[in-house]
Amino acid sequence: MSQQETLPAQAEGQPVSPIWPEATHIDAQGAITFHGISAASLLEQYGSPLYVVDTDEIANRAQRFVNAAQTAFNTTTTQVSYAGKALLTKRIVRIMLDAGMHIDTCTMGEMRIALAAGAPGRRLVLHGNNKTDDEVRLAISEGFDKIVVDSPDEPERIARIASQLGKRARVMLRVTSGIHAGGHEYISTAHEDQKFGVPLLPVDADEHLLDFLDLANNQQAVESAGDRAYSEQAQEEQTQLVQAMECIAQGSALAVLQTIKQHSEHLELVGIHSHIGSQIHDATAFIHAAQRIMLLRKTFYATDGITLPEVDLGGGYSVAYTDTQDSMNIEQELGALASAVMNTNRMLGMPMPVISFEPGRWIVAPAGVNLYTVGTVKAVQLQAEQRAEHPVEETTQVAQPAHITRTYVAVDGGMSDNIRPALYDAQYTARIANRSADALNTADLPEPKDTQATPQGAVRARIVGMHCESGDILVYHTWLPEDIHRGDIVAIPVTGAYGRTMASNYNQATIPAVVAVNASGSSVMLRRQSVDDLLELDQD
């Protein structure tokens, strides 16, 4: 260590940092508590490793999103559906229903869990790019609010099943808008070369034909410039609108909408759906996608005389996973989106539809913390050229230390309980949870990169799992106390989404329990798997 910095002390009872659940604090001994319950006592009672989920935090964030949508769109009706893929249990379903939400499902398992929790069919939605007949049949039988059509061949199949049941299914069409957004290629879902939805535009379309939609964002300024300016823009808009609608009329999306219309005896077409990706940080991409969807709605009205009553703008709202990242200000961004959508519909001469949203990660991710017990601690001395950087780190011109010491901290979990770092290069942070460790305040420390000097009293740590993979890494870069040792507890925040739901039995590891914490105490939400569970599956 050529330079040393002092680790700042943290006051008793102070929240850990903004990325942790609001009721997570530091107690008098410097240990992490959840609603006053220590991390150590949770592991003692429920075992290690452990998913901890603050259900009060989830309820508060769910209600906050619902309120933000209603406020942003004012007199326009809004509907919020929770994306169950992020984390789904019966208790989570009931929390979302209490907040006024619907529940998005995409498999038989998710459908059955939502129904078992008491969700009425009218509050459920079925998604999926490859729905089985059994899933479609259950959705229609239970009167699901919507089935989202994902492929050109689905309308006929859904209509056939509805006919067999003597019912009429409510459907909407998922459209790929061509707007590319998302934190990783695997979670960007509106580009053309992927498995979801039906393309809005023909393959040889000139997308510049849609540029006139940006005029909607300047509508107020043009109106205030006087009658002449307003008239000139109106003429320009009309010409470009006709050209854009002619282009959209050649695309697959309009054709599938017309196919659904042909099956109107058994299919009720209620709207258009768009989902452009995940971990999107501001409203810009949502605005561009929404404007394109509104133009498709206008085109369908012009060609078929039907005003679709609902437009679903999907999810993808970002959260901060480390203290250096920003979380989406949902009130601000939904406000910007609402303004653009209302201006666009006014420009198109269309009434506002019901506007729907599908948040998942934004609601549950910040409510989760994973707790692990430390095992092996291994310090490795490295020259600059030997370092294995985080895959998403940018090349820097900052002078590199000639050599560094990296401390590998192995824990009793790994990629089987959080695959996101291995799958998406996801970044996390961590801190010791069972003692003060000189009271590290990670929010005030320098960003834990290899170009930074190691603060006094800390080690440059990489938290790794127990699996037979060199890519089994939970946290690429973090500062931990220099006396970190076997038996310590490490806490990783912002794990409420896509940890438990993507968990696996790799190396025949058992999946940890999910424990709910709130102002009333703690309780098991999903029990821990046992080796006996695995053996019961083995029918030798």
Residues annotated in the binding site, as ranges? Answer: 316, 358-361, 420, 424, 469, 498
Q: Which of 203, 398, 468, 537 is catalytic?
A: 468
Residues annotated in the binding site for pyridoxal 5'-phosphate, as ranges? Answer: 316, 358-361, 498
Longest dimension (CA), the chain: 82
CA 487 distance to own-chain centroid: 33
∠ CA 83-260-278, nearest 5°, is 25
Total Cβ atoms within 10 A of residue 339: 18
Who contacts 499 (Cβ-Cβ below 8 Å, separation ≥6)?
51, 87, 368, 370, 417, 418, 420
What end-to-end distance do the CA atoms of the chain give, in Å?
Answer: 56
CA 520 distance to own-chain centroid: 28
**HEC-encoded secondary structure of 151-212:** CCCHHHHHHHHHHHHCCCEEEEEEEECCCCCCCCHHHECCCCCCCCCEECCCCCCCHHHHHH
Q: Measured between alpha carbons, how far is 350 from 342 in angstroms, rounded to an integer? A: 10
Q: Is residue 270 packed enough to be buried (19+ CB in 10 Å), middle (13-18) or exposed (0-12)?
A: buried
Who contacts 305 (Cβ-Cβ below 8 Å, separation ≥6)?
none
- What 3-state class would DSSP assign to 388? coil
* Residue 106 among the catalytic residues: no
CA-closest candidate to residue 465, choices 401, 367, 373: 373
Helices and strands: H and E segment counts in the chain? 14, 21
Q: Measured between alpha carbons, how far is 432 from 39 in angstroms, rounded to an integer? A: 10
CA-closest candidate to residue 81, choices 366, 365, 355: 355
Active-site positions? 468
